[in-house]
Chains A and B, each alone.
Chain A
Amino acid sequence: MKWELSREVLYGMEGDVNSEREMELYLYDQDQYERVYVRAIIWDSQDKAPDEEDLWMRDFKGQLEEKPWKVRIVEKLPPPWESS
């Protein structure tokens, strides 16, 4: 599965990237663009976690960036309105 994430979603969590800390966020699968809420660890380059899944980033203008990041999905979460 290829995943996609917009940089805006990371706002306020930038310090957790590359830290191996788990983050709660939402991704899209690139096959049909379904939103998935997850607890995940992310890295900002392929070299830092080569065995993990690709995470394609969209910049603040909505453009896909050239190289993917990496993501390990620890757990899929219910949407926020179901968990509250």
Chain B
Amino acid sequence: MTFPHDSLREYIDDCDKMGEVLRVKKEVDWNLEAGAIARRVAELGKGLAVAEGGHPLIVFEKIKGYPEGFRLGTNLTSNMLRVALLLGHPDPANATLDELQDVFMEGYNNQIKPVVVSDGACKENKMFGDDVNLYKFPAPMVHDGDGGRYLATFHLSATKDPDSDWVNWGMYRGMIHDRKTMGMLMVPIQNIGLIARRYEERNETMPIAVAIGSDPLSLFLAANAVPVGCSEADVVGGLRKEPLKVVKCETNDLLVPADSEIVIEGEVLPNVRAMEGPFGEFTGYRASPRDPRPVIMVKAITYRNDPILTMSCMGVPMDDSHILSSVVVAAILKDLMLKAGIPVTGVNYVPESGDQLLVVSTKTPFANIAHWIKAMAYSVGGIMSYIRYIFVVNDDVDIFNIHEVFHAFFSRVHPERSIHVSHEPSAPLIPAGDLNERLTGTSPVVLFDGTWPTDWHPFIAVPPKSSFKTIYPQAIQEKVVENWKEYGLK
């Protein structure tokens, strides 16, 4: 296996070696058909590896109305094995979420800046000015009822903070308006929203580059949220253990991964808005209304020969975004809390929740630690914009076992004492928010404090858990395990 992957194509080839790729020769329509296939694959796949009954990454090789070679790649990271593979885990087939968090943190804590090269595969073809045509690529109508064709659903949008060297790479959905303009969702509390606001306050144009089908680590970082001021390209270098090769755009100074499949260069004019959305999102709903949003005026497009346009057909779990997010957000929050002296033992950004539930296990050296955990989590800002539910439990619960989490929730959350509602800034995609809350980004948050009260006597008030591992003496457990097959059990 290759690691690190310099291009999407290297990654797909490695996935192929693991039996994780299907290349579809039959012609498919960009208008809903490709999206419907990708959605069904995600739902039937359930986030499992192909060998475990899951479904593969798909490359559609013939798109209706498009020439040979213009391909569509989808479901790129919709199981743990494929995410482990792109992260360079030594045993991708058996990787666990908490192990991947550790892999990520090693790279995050040892960042390496990218190296600028003079040329890259993304420069094989170029379009400028009046020749620019976003319809050159088979941008899908992903879901019925989307606001338009979404060219950017699995990509990185590069913007630079005007006040520092910080360059943000994020995955913010991009919809085609016409041949030369795209709309983009730039949520005010997310990193791109912060940067865009700084340009707009000065009435300045913001340069932007949208790199589609880049190397998988760059896409992985872009799909996630890292703290303000952290450049994703540096983290990519840390994960690679060597610098990422980047090239300068043709019409601005932004840098993008050199072997990206497609790069769209443009600028965002201050205070210009056009209706964008709706779009079926990772929350499992099309919850964000059509709304006036920023517009990218496209100046140039560069692309590889036979480009692979990457697509994420988001919806109900599990798909690409759920599994990617579950690694980075949880890892960063755990690290932050440990550094703050909060004795958390695990953080799970639960993929099955559609990126809305954070479960934290902790020791409880003092009362009300759950409130401190929630406060620490929201101190990181935009990372938390989608998390509306936080569930804190004692460290005896395996928070990566969804069955244990479910049981702990209904056995430890006291209906009067444990539920705390507060109001934090949010993204507009929150399904449970009413329409006004979605438009204004004010959907409330719930903290479920499932820790046993610290003033309860541990032997009298806290009920013993009745499980094999907790309610039988060690000697009996060992005897039962040792004789398991002799009982006739498997």
Contact = CB atoms under 8 A, between A and B. Distances in A.
Interface of A: 6, 8-9, 26, 28, 32-36, 58, 61-64, 79-81
A79 B145 contact: no
A58 B286 CA distance: 15
A52 to B, nearest CB: 23
Nearest to A9: B275
A26 B141 CA distance: 18
Interface of B: 31, 135, 141, 143-149, 176-179, 181, 269, 272, 274-275, 278, 286, 289-290, 295, 297
B145 A58 contact: yes
Contacts of A26: 275
Given A36-B178, A62-B143, 4 more contacts: A6-B290, A35-B148, A58-B145, A62-B286
B179 A79 contact: no
Nearest to A62: B145
Contacts of A80: 272, 274
A34 B175 CA distance: 11
A62 B144 contact: yes
A30 to B, nearest CB: 9
Contacts of B289: 8
A32 B151 CA distance: 13
A64 B135 CA distance: 23
B272 A81 contact: yes
A76 to B, nearest CB: 11
28 contacts: A6-B147, A6-B290, A8-B289, A8-B290, A9-B275, A28-B148, A32-B149, A33-B141, A33-B149, A33-B176, A34-B135, A35-B177, A35-B178, A35-B274, A58-B145, A61-B145, A62-B143, A62-B145, A62-B278, A62-B286, A63-B144, A79-B181, A79-B274, A80-B272, A81-B272, A81-B274, A81-B295, A81-B297
Contacts of B278: 62
Contacts of B143: 62
Nearest to A63: B145
A51 B109 CA distance: 67
Nearest to A35: B177
Given A8-B290, A79-B177, A81-B269, A32 B135 contact: yes
Nearest to B177: A35
B142 to A, nearest CB: 12
Contacts of B135: 32, 34
A61 B178 CA distance: 23
Nearest to B139: A33
Contacts of B144: 62-64
A61 B146 CA distance: 10
Contacts of B148: 28, 33, 35
User: Of residues A9, A32, A61, A81, which shows the largest number of chain B Cβ atoms within 10 Å of its Cβ?
Assistant: A32
Given A6-B290, A9-B275, A62 B146 contact: yes
A9 B289 CA distance: 12
A62 B297 CA distance: 26
A24 to B, nearest CB: 13
A83 to B, nearest CB: 12
B111 to A, nearest CB: 38
Contacts of A34: 135, 176, 178-179
A80 B178 CA distance: 13
A16 to B, nearest CB: 18
A36 B144 CA distance: 20
A2 to B, nearest CB: 13
B143 to A, nearest CB: 8
Q: Select the residue from B178, B286, B290, B295 with max chain A CB neighbours within 10 A.
A: B178
